[in-house]
Structure 1
Amino acid sequence: MKATVTVFIILVAFASAGKIHYAEKYLDQIATSRTECFKKEGVDLKYLEQVDDSETIPTFDQQKCYVLCMINKFKFTDAELRFQAESYKEYFDDLVLWEKVETALSTKCLPKDKKIRSCEDAYDMYICLVRNV
């Protein structure tokens, strides 16, 4: 029962959080993966509902390698570690939102070589997205 309530709270918080809203059909998968990455990285679950909100996004020290864990889990990089925006696009229903995400990725949020080499690179990219979308 406690686990069901926790998952429900996570899903509600996730669905209504900040500016990044993902496709409804992926919310369960994303929520499960987030919880797994938080646990793997030793991140306090209290930050779970804050990761998509530009006002409350946890600092790098608070979320550690969580973003890189998610990028790896969803295979958003190729063998050379280049971020694959087209793979990420699949997780958006709202094309207007996707256009904003794509513009932010191509103009501000990815390194010039598009490579995500470290936890810091992943965090910097994601925080840039949350703040610019």
Structure 2
Amino acid sequence: MSDLSTYLTLENDTPYTLDLASKSIDHGHWTTDPPSTIDALKASPFTLTDDSAAAAGSEGTVVYSVTVSDTNEEGGDPVVATFTVRFCCSYSVDNNYCYFSTSNPKLFAIHFRVKIGEHGVWYDNYCPEGGHPVYAELFIRVLS
């Protein structure tokens, strides 16, 4: 049976600690849970796997948040920024996806890259729709 896992690594290239806001599963189970925090300038892996006989694939969502002072505003009021990744390694043909977004693109830049299979080719900000398993690397940095 194919490996229908999604292997993710979130690289926090900011001076802030990211806090896990939520995680959800549509299909599969966590074999490596998203950590409750990701320290500044650190990377953390997490994996969602489908080893069921139903072969549905792995599909889920993870959200991290951070509270920072908005240096663009007078008084530097705190701003909460979120980073959301939605992903799927689907059993069905051509249904893989990876979406990565932030609630505050004025303060943070994000990008991701995905490959299919351990020895696949990396694609920047694109997820091939077919093949197994999905490997995704997600990057967050502060805009200067």
Instruction: Confirm or deny a common fold (TM above 0.5).
Output: no
Q: Tell me the TM-score normalized by structure 2.
A: 0.32
Considering fraction of residues, name the structure with more helix. Answer: 1
Higher-Rg member (1/2): 2
Considering fraction of residues, name the structure with more strand. Answer: 2
Q: Tell me the TM-score normalized by structure 1.
A: 0.34
